[in-house]
Structure 1
Amino acid sequence: MLQDIESIPADIVVSLSEKKIGFRLDNADLVFVPLRKYSYRYIVVANFRDGRFEVICPFKDIAIIQSDAFNVICKFRKVFKAVHSRSTRVDIFDMPTIFGSVSNQTNQNDSGVFVLQLLLAYDGKTHFHFKEEHAKPLRESITYYLCTHEENELIMPEIKDIARQHHKQKVIVHLHGSQGKSFFVSCKFFSSFF
Protein backbone atom coordinates (compact mmCIF):
# COMPACT_ATOMS: atom_id res chain seq x y z
CA MET A 1 0.00 0.00 0.00
CA LEU A 2 2.88 2.36 0.65
CA GLN A 3 4.10 1.83 -2.93
CA ASP A 4 0.76 2.62 -4.52
CA ILE A 5 1.18 6.02 -6.13
CA GLU A 6 -2.57 6.55 -6.30
CA SER A 7 -3.29 5.85 -2.64
CA ILE A 8 -3.69 8.71 -0.25
CA PRO A 9 -1.92 8.27 3.12
CA ALA A 10 -5.22 8.91 4.93
CA ASP A 11 -6.55 5.75 3.25
CA ILE A 12 -3.83 3.60 4.80
CA VAL A 13 -3.63 5.18 8.26
CA VAL A 14 -5.92 2.48 9.60
CA SER A 15 -3.37 -0.19 8.56
CA LEU A 16 -0.79 1.19 10.97
CA SER A 17 -3.08 2.06 13.86
CA GLU A 18 -2.64 0.49 17.28
CA LYS A 19 -6.09 -1.04 17.00
CA LYS A 20 -5.16 -2.82 13.75
CA ILE A 21 -1.63 -4.04 14.56
CA GLY A 22 -1.97 -4.51 18.33
CA PHE A 23 0.77 -2.12 19.51
CA ARG A 24 1.95 1.45 19.11
CA LEU A 25 4.26 1.68 16.14
CA ASP A 26 6.32 4.40 17.80
CA ASN A 27 7.22 1.92 20.59
CA ALA A 28 8.95 -0.44 18.14
CA ASP A 29 12.71 -0.34 17.61
CA LEU A 30 12.59 -1.61 14.02
CA VAL A 31 9.72 -1.59 11.55
CA PHE A 32 10.29 -3.72 8.45
CA VAL A 33 8.58 -2.85 5.19
CA PRO A 34 9.30 -5.55 2.59
CA LEU A 35 8.86 -4.19 -0.93
CA ARG A 36 9.06 -5.17 -4.57
CA LYS A 37 10.11 -3.10 -7.57
CA TYR A 38 9.75 -4.99 -10.83
CA SER A 39 11.05 -8.46 -9.90
CA TYR A 40 13.45 -7.16 -7.25
CA ARG A 41 12.64 -7.45 -3.56
CA TYR A 42 14.13 -5.14 -0.94
CA ILE A 43 13.41 -3.82 2.55
CA VAL A 44 12.91 -0.40 4.07
CA VAL A 45 13.59 -0.43 7.81
CA ALA A 46 12.33 2.37 10.00
CA ASN A 47 15.06 2.13 12.63
CA PHE A 48 13.55 4.15 15.46
CA ARG A 49 16.24 3.01 17.89
CA ASP A 50 18.99 4.68 15.84
CA GLY A 51 16.79 7.38 14.29
CA ARG A 52 17.16 6.56 10.59
CA PHE A 53 15.59 4.83 7.62
CA GLU A 54 17.62 1.99 6.14
CA VAL A 55 17.02 0.77 2.61
CA ILE A 56 18.54 -2.69 2.34
CA CYS A 57 19.02 -4.01 -1.17
CA PRO A 58 19.87 -7.70 -1.58
CA PHE A 59 21.27 -7.03 -5.05
CA LYS A 60 24.05 -4.96 -6.55
CA ASP A 61 22.29 -2.05 -8.29
CA ILE A 62 20.70 0.24 -5.70
CA ALA A 63 19.61 2.71 -8.40
CA ILE A 64 16.85 0.29 -9.49
CA ILE A 65 14.85 0.92 -6.32
CA GLN A 66 16.10 4.31 -5.14
CA SER A 67 13.21 6.53 -6.27
CA ASP A 68 10.66 3.89 -5.23
CA ALA A 69 12.22 3.72 -1.75
CA PHE A 70 12.15 7.50 -1.33
CA ASN A 71 8.45 7.52 -2.28
CA VAL A 72 7.68 4.77 0.23
CA ILE A 73 9.57 6.59 3.00
CA CYS A 74 7.79 9.85 2.19
CA LYS A 75 4.41 8.15 2.44
CA PHE A 76 5.44 6.22 5.58
CA ARG A 77 6.39 9.51 7.27
CA LYS A 78 3.00 11.05 6.48
CA VAL A 79 1.08 7.99 7.64
CA PHE A 80 3.19 7.66 10.81
CA LYS A 81 2.61 11.34 11.65
CA ALA A 82 -1.13 10.92 11.09
CA VAL A 83 -1.28 7.87 13.37
CA HIS A 84 1.18 9.09 16.03
CA SER A 85 0.86 12.87 15.86
CA ARG A 86 1.83 13.21 19.54
CA SER A 87 4.81 10.89 19.51
CA THR A 88 7.78 12.34 21.36
CA ARG A 89 10.09 9.37 20.82
CA VAL A 90 11.19 10.32 17.34
CA ASP A 91 10.73 13.11 14.81
CA ILE A 92 9.97 11.02 11.75
CA PHE A 93 10.80 13.90 9.39
CA ASP A 94 14.33 14.31 10.82
CA MET A 95 15.30 10.68 10.24
CA PRO A 96 17.90 10.43 7.42
CA THR A 97 17.82 7.68 4.80
CA ILE A 98 20.75 5.31 4.35
CA PHE A 99 21.03 2.94 1.37
CA GLY A 100 23.04 -0.25 1.48
CA SER A 101 23.57 -3.28 -0.71
CA VAL A 102 24.06 -6.60 1.05
CA SER A 103 24.97 -8.61 -2.04
CA ASN A 104 26.73 -8.32 -5.37
CA GLN A 105 23.94 -10.38 -6.94
CA THR A 106 22.40 -9.34 -10.21
CA ASN A 107 19.93 -12.25 -10.14
CA GLN A 108 16.61 -10.72 -9.12
CA ASN A 109 15.14 -14.10 -8.15
CA ASP A 110 17.53 -14.49 -5.21
CA SER A 111 16.54 -11.11 -3.76
CA GLY A 112 13.33 -12.59 -2.32
CA VAL A 113 15.22 -15.33 -0.49
CA PHE A 114 17.66 -12.82 0.96
CA VAL A 115 14.81 -10.50 2.03
CA LEU A 116 13.16 -13.39 3.89
CA GLN A 117 16.44 -14.10 5.70
CA LEU A 118 16.80 -10.41 6.59
CA LEU A 119 13.25 -10.38 7.98
CA LEU A 120 14.10 -13.38 10.16
CA ALA A 121 17.51 -12.28 11.40
CA TYR A 122 18.28 -8.56 10.89
CA ASP A 123 18.75 -6.82 14.23
CA GLY A 124 19.40 -3.28 13.00
CA LYS A 125 23.12 -3.45 13.67
CA THR A 126 24.95 -6.12 11.68
CA HIS A 127 24.40 -6.13 7.96
CA PHE A 128 24.54 -9.39 6.07
CA HIS A 129 26.57 -9.92 2.94
CA PHE A 130 25.05 -12.61 0.76
CA LYS A 131 26.94 -14.55 -1.87
CA GLU A 132 25.49 -16.51 -4.75
CA GLU A 133 26.12 -19.82 -3.00
CA HIS A 134 24.00 -18.73 -0.01
CA ALA A 135 20.78 -18.66 -2.04
CA LYS A 136 20.17 -22.40 -2.33
CA PRO A 137 20.63 -23.38 1.35
CA LEU A 138 18.63 -20.33 2.48
CA ARG A 139 15.85 -21.19 0.04
CA GLU A 140 15.79 -24.75 1.40
CA SER A 141 15.86 -23.60 5.00
CA ILE A 142 13.04 -21.11 4.52
CA THR A 143 10.94 -23.68 2.65
CA TYR A 144 11.42 -26.15 5.48
CA TYR A 145 10.59 -23.47 8.04
CA LEU A 146 7.39 -22.47 6.23
CA CYS A 147 6.23 -26.03 5.57
CA THR A 148 6.80 -27.42 9.06
CA HIS A 149 6.29 -24.46 11.38
CA GLU A 150 4.35 -25.52 14.49
CA GLU A 151 1.89 -22.63 14.18
CA ASN A 152 0.69 -23.67 10.72
CA GLU A 153 -3.02 -24.35 10.90
CA LEU A 154 -2.55 -27.37 8.65
CA ILE A 155 0.58 -29.31 7.81
CA MET A 156 -0.10 -31.47 4.80
CA PRO A 157 0.28 -35.22 5.36
CA GLU A 158 2.85 -35.33 2.55
CA ILE A 159 5.07 -32.89 4.46
CA LYS A 160 4.73 -34.95 7.65
CA ASP A 161 5.74 -38.09 5.72
CA ILE A 162 8.79 -36.39 4.26
CA ALA A 163 9.78 -35.11 7.71
CA ARG A 164 9.58 -38.66 9.11
CA GLN A 165 11.45 -40.26 6.20
CA HIS A 166 14.39 -37.92 5.91
CA HIS A 167 16.81 -36.85 8.57
CA LYS A 168 17.57 -33.19 9.04
CA GLN A 169 20.90 -31.88 7.92
CA LYS A 170 22.43 -28.79 9.35
CA VAL A 171 24.17 -26.39 7.02
CA ILE A 172 26.17 -23.45 8.23
CA VAL A 173 26.09 -20.42 5.95
CA HIS A 174 29.00 -18.10 6.63
CA LEU A 175 27.97 -14.48 6.15
CA HIS A 176 30.11 -11.39 6.61
CA GLY A 177 28.99 -8.33 8.53
CA SER A 178 29.52 -4.85 7.21
CA GLN A 179 32.05 -3.97 9.89
CA GLY A 180 34.36 -6.89 9.09
CA LYS A 181 32.68 -9.17 11.62
CA SER A 182 31.64 -12.58 10.45
CA PHE A 183 28.81 -14.68 11.80
CA PHE A 184 26.99 -17.86 10.97
CA VAL A 185 23.41 -18.64 10.08
CA SER A 186 22.32 -22.16 10.84
CA CYS A 187 20.05 -23.67 8.21
CA LYS A 188 18.13 -26.92 8.58
CA PHE A 189 16.80 -28.65 5.51
CA PHE A 190 16.12 -32.02 3.98
CA SER A 191 18.81 -32.79 1.43
CA SER A 192 16.90 -35.44 -0.51
CA PHE A 193 13.61 -33.53 -0.58
CA PHE A 194 14.98 -30.48 -2.35
Structure 2
Amino acid sequence: MARLNVLAIALLAALIPIATLAKEIVVGDDAGWITKFDYVSWAKKQDFQVGDTLVFKYPQGAHNVIKVDENAYKNCAIPPAGPANPVLASGKDVISLDAPGKKWFLCAIPGHCEKGGQKLEIEVKAGGGKTAAAPTATPTAAPKLAPAPTDAKSDNKTAATSPAAATPSGDGAPAPAPASSANGLNGYQLPLAIVGAIAALAIF
Protein backbone atom coordinates (compact mmCIF):
# COMPACT_ATOMS: atom_id res chain seq x y z
CA MET A 1 0.00 0.00 0.00
CA ALA A 2 2.82 2.42 0.88
CA ARG A 3 4.49 1.79 -2.48
CA LEU A 4 1.25 2.51 -4.36
CA ASN A 5 0.89 5.80 -2.48
CA VAL A 6 4.43 6.82 -3.45
CA LEU A 7 3.76 6.03 -7.12
CA ALA A 8 0.51 8.01 -7.07
CA ILE A 9 2.27 11.05 -5.58
CA ALA A 10 5.08 10.82 -8.14
CA LEU A 11 2.57 10.65 -11.02
CA LEU A 12 0.65 13.64 -9.66
CA ALA A 13 3.89 15.61 -9.27
CA ALA A 14 4.77 14.86 -12.91
CA LEU A 15 1.37 16.03 -14.17
CA ILE A 16 1.18 19.26 -12.14
CA PRO A 17 3.86 21.12 -14.16
CA ILE A 18 2.13 20.16 -17.43
CA ALA A 19 -1.22 21.43 -16.21
CA THR A 20 0.36 24.60 -14.81
CA LEU A 21 2.42 25.49 -17.90
CA ALA A 22 -0.26 24.72 -20.52
CA LYS A 23 -1.29 27.93 -22.23
CA GLU A 24 -3.67 29.33 -24.82
CA ILE A 25 -1.93 30.82 -27.85
CA VAL A 26 -3.89 33.14 -30.11
CA VAL A 27 -2.61 32.77 -33.67
CA GLY A 28 -1.31 36.13 -34.92
CA ASP A 29 -1.85 37.72 -31.48
CA ASP A 30 -3.98 40.86 -31.87
CA ALA A 31 -4.02 40.56 -35.67
CA GLY A 32 -5.68 37.16 -35.54
CA TRP A 33 -6.10 34.80 -38.47
CA ILE A 34 -5.94 36.97 -41.61
CA THR A 35 -4.28 37.26 -45.00
CA LYS A 36 -1.10 39.24 -45.68
CA PHE A 37 0.43 38.40 -42.33
CA ASP A 38 3.92 36.97 -41.69
CA TYR A 39 3.03 33.82 -39.73
CA VAL A 40 6.51 32.38 -40.31
CA SER A 41 8.20 35.11 -38.26
CA TRP A 42 5.38 35.04 -35.70
CA ALA A 43 5.71 31.26 -35.15
CA LYS A 44 9.48 31.52 -34.58
CA LYS A 45 8.86 33.71 -31.53
CA GLN A 46 6.47 31.26 -29.90
CA ASP A 47 7.09 28.29 -27.62
CA PHE A 48 4.59 25.58 -28.50
CA GLN A 49 4.36 22.75 -26.00
CA VAL A 50 2.28 19.63 -25.65
CA GLY A 51 -0.87 20.58 -23.74
CA ASP A 52 -1.12 24.08 -25.23
CA THR A 53 -4.08 25.16 -27.37
CA LEU A 54 -4.10 27.19 -30.57
CA VAL A 55 -6.92 29.70 -31.03
CA PHE A 56 -7.72 30.94 -34.55
CA LYS A 57 -9.70 34.19 -34.30
CA TYR A 58 -11.32 35.80 -37.36
CA PRO A 59 -14.68 37.21 -38.48
CA GLN A 60 -16.96 34.23 -39.04
CA GLY A 61 -17.46 33.58 -42.75
CA ALA A 62 -14.34 35.53 -43.76
CA HIS A 63 -11.88 32.67 -43.26
CA ASN A 64 -11.61 29.09 -42.04
CA VAL A 65 -8.98 26.61 -40.80
CA ILE A 66 -8.01 23.14 -41.91
CA LYS A 67 -5.15 20.94 -40.78
CA VAL A 68 -2.90 19.67 -43.59
CA ASP A 69 0.35 17.80 -44.13
CA GLU A 70 3.69 19.34 -45.09
CA ASN A 71 3.23 18.85 -48.82
CA ALA A 72 -0.19 20.51 -48.83
CA TYR A 73 1.20 23.36 -46.74
CA LYS A 74 4.03 24.08 -49.18
CA ASN A 75 1.78 23.91 -52.23
CA CYS A 76 -1.35 25.44 -50.67
CA ALA A 77 -3.19 22.30 -51.73
CA ILE A 78 -6.64 22.05 -50.19
CA PRO A 79 -7.32 18.46 -49.07
CA PRO A 80 -10.82 17.04 -49.17
CA ALA A 81 -12.61 17.75 -45.91
CA GLY A 82 -14.16 14.95 -43.92
CA PRO A 83 -15.04 13.79 -40.41
CA ALA A 84 -11.40 12.98 -39.66
CA ASN A 85 -10.18 16.39 -40.87
CA PRO A 86 -13.02 18.89 -40.92
CA VAL A 87 -12.86 22.52 -42.05
CA LEU A 88 -13.26 24.72 -38.96
CA ALA A 89 -15.23 27.92 -39.52
CA SER A 90 -16.58 29.09 -36.14
CA GLY A 91 -14.55 32.33 -36.05
CA LYS A 92 -12.86 31.11 -32.85
CA ASP A 93 -11.46 27.67 -33.56
CA VAL A 94 -9.59 25.97 -30.73
CA ILE A 95 -7.11 23.20 -31.53
CA SER A 96 -5.36 21.19 -28.81
CA LEU A 97 -1.69 20.35 -29.25
CA ASP A 98 -1.69 16.80 -27.94
CA ALA A 99 1.51 15.45 -29.50
CA PRO A 100 5.00 16.77 -30.26
CA GLY A 101 6.22 17.45 -33.77
CA LYS A 102 5.46 19.77 -36.66
CA LYS A 103 1.88 20.83 -37.47
CA TRP A 104 0.52 22.64 -40.53
CA PHE A 105 -2.66 24.69 -41.01
CA LEU A 106 -4.08 26.89 -43.77
CA CYS A 107 -7.20 28.71 -44.87
CA ALA A 108 -9.18 26.66 -47.38
CA ILE A 109 -10.87 29.62 -49.03
CA PRO A 110 -9.48 29.84 -52.60
CA GLY A 111 -6.67 32.36 -52.98
CA HIS A 112 -6.19 33.01 -49.25
CA CYS A 113 -3.23 30.63 -48.93
CA GLU A 114 -1.47 30.92 -52.27
CA LYS A 115 -2.01 34.69 -52.68
CA GLY A 116 -2.52 35.90 -49.14
CA GLY A 117 -0.02 33.64 -47.36
CA GLN A 118 -2.67 32.56 -44.86
CA LYS A 119 -0.96 29.42 -43.60
CA LEU A 120 0.84 28.37 -40.44
CA GLU A 121 3.62 25.93 -39.58
CA ILE A 122 4.53 25.24 -35.96
CA GLU A 123 6.72 22.80 -34.07
CA VAL A 124 5.38 21.43 -30.80
CA LYS A 125 7.84 20.44 -28.10
CA ALA A 126 7.30 17.61 -25.65
CA GLY A 127 6.96 19.32 -22.29
CA GLY A 128 8.92 22.38 -23.38
CA GLY A 129 11.83 20.22 -24.55
CA LYS A 130 12.48 18.96 -21.03
CA THR A 131 12.34 15.35 -20.08
CA ALA A 132 11.33 14.44 -16.53
CA ALA A 133 14.08 12.57 -14.69
CA ALA A 134 13.23 9.02 -13.71
CA PRO A 135 13.29 8.34 -9.99
CA THR A 136 16.55 6.81 -8.87
CA ALA A 137 16.18 3.57 -7.00
CA THR A 138 18.21 3.40 -3.81
CA PRO A 139 20.37 0.26 -3.83
CA THR A 140 19.59 -2.11 -1.01
CA ALA A 141 22.48 -3.83 0.75
CA ALA A 142 22.38 -7.59 0.58
CA PRO A 143 21.65 -9.19 3.96
CA LYS A 144 24.67 -10.65 5.72
CA LEU A 145 24.58 -14.40 6.17
CA ALA A 146 25.15 -15.81 9.65
CA PRO A 147 28.25 -18.03 9.97
CA ALA A 148 27.58 -21.74 9.69
CA PRO A 149 27.29 -23.50 13.10
CA THR A 150 30.40 -25.42 14.16
CA ASP A 151 30.06 -29.14 14.71
CA ALA A 152 31.77 -29.88 18.07
CA LYS A 153 32.18 -33.55 17.26
CA SER A 154 33.74 -32.72 13.93
CA ASP A 155 36.17 -30.30 15.62
CA ASN A 156 37.16 -33.00 18.16
CA LYS A 157 37.81 -35.50 15.40
CA THR A 158 39.84 -32.96 13.51
CA ALA A 159 41.90 -32.15 16.58
CA ALA A 160 42.52 -35.83 17.22
CA THR A 161 43.70 -36.49 13.69
CA SER A 162 45.46 -33.19 13.15
CA PRO A 163 49.26 -33.32 12.88
CA ALA A 164 49.46 -30.59 15.53
CA ALA A 165 47.78 -32.91 18.06
CA ALA A 166 50.09 -35.85 17.38
CA THR A 167 52.83 -36.77 19.93
CA PRO A 168 55.99 -34.85 19.05
CA SER A 169 59.03 -36.88 18.06
CA GLY A 170 62.75 -36.43 18.80
CA ASP A 171 64.00 -34.60 21.90
CA GLY A 172 60.58 -33.33 22.82
CA ALA A 173 59.02 -36.79 23.12
CA PRO A 174 58.04 -37.81 26.70
CA ALA A 175 59.97 -40.78 28.19
CA PRO A 176 58.00 -44.06 28.17
CA ALA A 177 56.70 -45.25 31.57
CA PRO A 178 58.83 -48.05 33.13
CA ALA A 179 57.45 -51.54 32.67
CA SER A 180 56.30 -53.32 35.87
CA SER A 181 56.79 -57.02 36.72
CA ALA A 182 53.95 -59.47 36.81
CA ASN A 183 53.70 -59.20 40.66
CA GLY A 184 54.04 -55.49 40.70
CA LEU A 185 57.59 -55.67 42.27
CA ASN A 186 60.86 -54.35 40.88
CA GLY A 187 63.83 -56.69 40.21
CA TYR A 188 65.65 -55.90 43.54
CA GLN A 189 62.50 -56.20 45.64
CA LEU A 190 61.93 -59.89 44.84
CA PRO A 191 65.04 -61.29 46.66
CA LEU A 192 64.23 -59.19 49.72
CA ALA A 193 60.76 -60.66 49.84
CA ILE A 194 62.13 -64.24 49.70
CA VAL A 195 64.65 -63.51 52.49
CA GLY A 196 61.92 -62.09 54.63
CA ALA A 197 59.72 -65.10 54.15
CA ILE A 198 62.54 -67.53 55.13
CA ALA A 199 63.27 -65.48 58.25
CA ALA A 200 59.65 -65.57 59.25
CA LEU A 201 59.55 -69.38 58.94
CA ALA A 202 62.72 -69.70 61.00
CA ILE A 203 61.18 -67.72 63.82
CA PHE A 204 58.01 -69.76 63.92
Bin of the TM-score, shorter chain as denominator length: under 0.3
What is the TM-score with the length of structure 2 in the denominator? 0.21
| Greater share of residues in strand | 1
What is the TM-score with the length of structure 1 in the denominator? 0.22
| Greater share of residues in helix | 1
Which structure is larger by alpha-carbon Rg, 1 or 2?
2
